[in-house]
Amino acid sequence: MTKGLQMSEVTKYYAEGSNRIAALDHVSISVGPGEFVAVVGPSGSGKSTFLSIAGALLKASEGDVKLNGYNISTLTAKELSNIRLREIGFIMQSSNLVPYLNVLDQLLIVKRMSGKVKREDKEFAAKLLEELGLGSKLKSLPEELSGGEKQRTAIARALINNPNVILADEPTASLDTKRAHEVVGLIAHEVKSRRKAAIMVTHDERMLEYCDKVYRMEDGKLSLAEMSRSRGVHV
């Protein structure tokens, strides 16, 4: 069975008056365990639709989406909800932390959504936060954290259910250069060490050096960008 995320000939149509517009046009991509890929492209190119379909938030009009070898294209809304909770970790532009929950509880609320919180869940959450440099912040509220600390909390939250796929949507949008490198470097480290299949949609070309492959999205079509010898990217 093929692990990770595979999309094959995925197309998404939207109705616009009497016309049918293809937001995604026969997109194919395969991301395996331990692989960190980036998708770049201008606004309106189809990146958001692509990420929504990869994250089981939206169904494709045509084509197949496979997660760990299972075709999720035909699942019900409830089944897709379970897939999102157990198999996919999301890291968004803004950390989307719950204002009244401390850092530890930001992770435990995700565990609570999938059942009762056990002692080993609390231990794993604390260990994860320690690993991401937040060991002294377990009881801190979001308003007491820096932008980088908020995003590190979001990374930990994405990993708490031990999902197979990590999807990051512009994770450096609100960060300065130093914090941006820190956050994407951490994502790359966790992807490699925990053998996750990860996709980052970004406008931030400074961050592409952390990625194994870079794809370009334009007019709903996805193509592999050329990597230069210096690991720069021609996009």
Confidence check: pLDDT of 143 > 90: yes
Lowest mean pLDDT among 120-124, 192-196, 223-227: 223-227
Answer whether residue 230 shows pLDDT above 60. no
Domain ranges of the chain: 5-96+163-227
Q: How far apart are CA 103 and CA 114, in angstroms?
A: 19
Task: For residues 189 and 205, give the distance between their C-alpha atoms in angstroms, rounded to a whole number.
Answer: 18
Predicted local distance difference test score (pLDDT) of residue 1: 64
pLDDT at 90 over 90: yes
Give the DSSP H or E segment for 52: helix 47-54
Q: What CA dihedral angle connects 210, 213, 217 and 220, to 10 degrees?
A: -130
Taking alpha carbons only, the member of 4, 38, 2, 30 closest to residue 165 is 4
Computed over every residue of the chain, the mean pLDDT equals 89
Cα three-residue angle 155-202-167, rounded to 5 degrees: 40
Mean pLDDT value across residues 81-102: 89
What is the fold of 5-96+163-227?
Answer: Rossmann fold (3.40.50)
Residue 86, pLDDT > 60, answer yes
Longest CA–CA span in the chain (Å) reads 57
Predicted pLDDT at 227: 58
Question: pLDDT-based confidence at 134, cuts 50/70/90?
Answer: very high
pTM: 0.90
**What does the pLDDT read at residue 225?**
86
The closest alpha carbon to 84, from 58, 110, 54, 56, belongs to 56
* Each residue's pLDDT tens digit, 170-218: 998 888 889 899 999 999 999 999 999 999 999 888 899 999 999 999 9
